[in-house]
Amino acid sequence: MKVIKASSRTTKVAPEAWFTGTVLQDEVVTGSPPSRLRALSVSFTPGARTAWHTHPVGQTLYVLYGTGRVQMEGGRPIVLNPGDTVLIPPDVKHWHGAAPDRLFIHLAISEVTDDGAGTNWLEKVTDAEYGVPAVDPA
Ligand code: MN
């Protein structure tokens, strides 16, 4: 086994091409083969969000802190709170991010494909799309 010290890894600013607003990423695990596990802690400042995207093997989000949003294409934005788990199926177009006025931190957990692909990035979430009032999950 191996312990990776928190102090050995620096926080990264998420790429502007794929995110709106300030988003910070802390690596949790990048599995070594045969593991295909990837996990990141992602911190979204108020109003910050991912672009629209899909995951070839799906994704699990686990909310650690704050108030967030997730939206699948064709649905309403949904409110997320600490302790919530979101299961995103393979190849479903979606975005996730903070509420307009709250910090939001989630774990993003996924497996990559055999050739290492994990996310297909699409267009940014517009202010009009982001501004649709969010609803509580059913
Ligand atoms: Mn995602």
Mean local confidence (pLDDT), 75-82: 98
Domain hosting 89: range is 12-130
Residue that is written with structure tokens 């799309």 in the block: 129
The answer as to whether 138 is a domain residue is no
Does 74 have pLDDT greater than 90? yes
Q: Which amino acid is at 52?
A: W
**Number of compact structural domains in the chain:** 1
The answer as to whether 137 is a domain residue is no
The answer as to whether 69 is a domain residue is yes
Please give, one letter per residue, the 3-state secondary structure of 115-133: CCCCCEECCCCCHHHHCCC
Does 138 have pLDDT greater than 80? no
Q: How far is the CA of 34 from the centre of ligand 1 (A)?
A: 23
% of the chain surpassing 70 pLDDT: 100
The answer as to whether 135 is a domain residue is no
Q: How far is the CA of 3 from the centre of ligand 1 (A)?
A: 27
The answer as to whether 4 is a domain residue is no
The answer as to whether 5 is a domain residue is no
Q: How far is the CA of 8 from the centre of ligand 1 (A)?
A: 26
Whole-structure pTM value: 0.95
Q: How far is the CA of 10 from the centre of ligand 1 (A)?
A: 22
Q: How far is the CA of 75 from the centre of ligand 1 (A)?
A: 15
With contact defined as beta carbons under 8 Å apart, do 47 and 60 qualify?
Answer: no
pLDDT at 115: 87
Tens of pLDDT, residues 30-66: 999 999 999 999 999 999 999 999 999 999 999 999 9
Residue 122, domain CATH:
2.60.120.10
Whether omega before 34 lies within 30 degrees of 0, making that bond cis, reads: yes
Strand order in the sheet with 104-111: 12-13, 23-30, 37-44, 104-111, 59-66, 85-88
Q: What share of residues in the chain are helix, strand, coil (percent, to 5)?
A: 5, 45, 50
The answer as to whether 18 is a domain residue is yes
Does 137 have pLDDT greater than 90? no
The answer as to whether 114 is a domain residue is yes
